Amino acid sequence: MAPHHLPFYLAPGSGVDPLMVVMGLFLIGTVLWVGTLYWRLHSLPERMAHKSQKLQFEFVAVLGLISLFTHMHAFWIAGLFLAMIDIPDFGTPMRSIADSVERIADAAPGEMSETTRADPPPPRQPGPAQEREHGHV
């Protein structure tokens, strides 16, 4: 009894609505796309710190997790700033100094290098200038 010239977007008598199926698939795809975009944006500081091999990578990752679970954007912004700056590496020079001092401390007093095995300088003869210096004290 329905007229044969109805538009395509009206559901036929069988009950299947093709426009609703297309819009449902479009909605599911859009939600997945927006979710992926959100996760990519949220992990931006962590990816930046990992790509440039920053020392503070773990700290940036923890700030990202805290901001994800608490929904406090200040942690995400702090992680982004930490990922953008370079913190100087003080550990490597200090470790080198500590290794050198340890090597010096472990050397026995009798084990001197070739340059220090030379004869010690002759003792100084007290001269008139040195005797005057003692008188000032």
What's the rounded Cα separation, in Å, for the pair 96 and 14? 81
Residues 105-133: what's their mean pLDDT?
Answer: 61
Q: Whose CA is closest to 70, among 45, 42, 33?
A: 42
Sort 59 into a burial class: Cβ within 10 Å, 0-12 / 13-18 / 19+.
middle
pLDDT in tens, 62-103: 999 899 889 888 999 999 998 888 877 778 888 999 999 988
Examine the pLDDT at 24 and tell me if it is beyond 90: yes
Q: In the chain, count H helices and then E strands.
A: 6, 0
Angle at alpha carbon of residue 61, lines to 96 and 36, rounded to 5°: 145
Whether the pTM exceeds 0.85: the reply is no
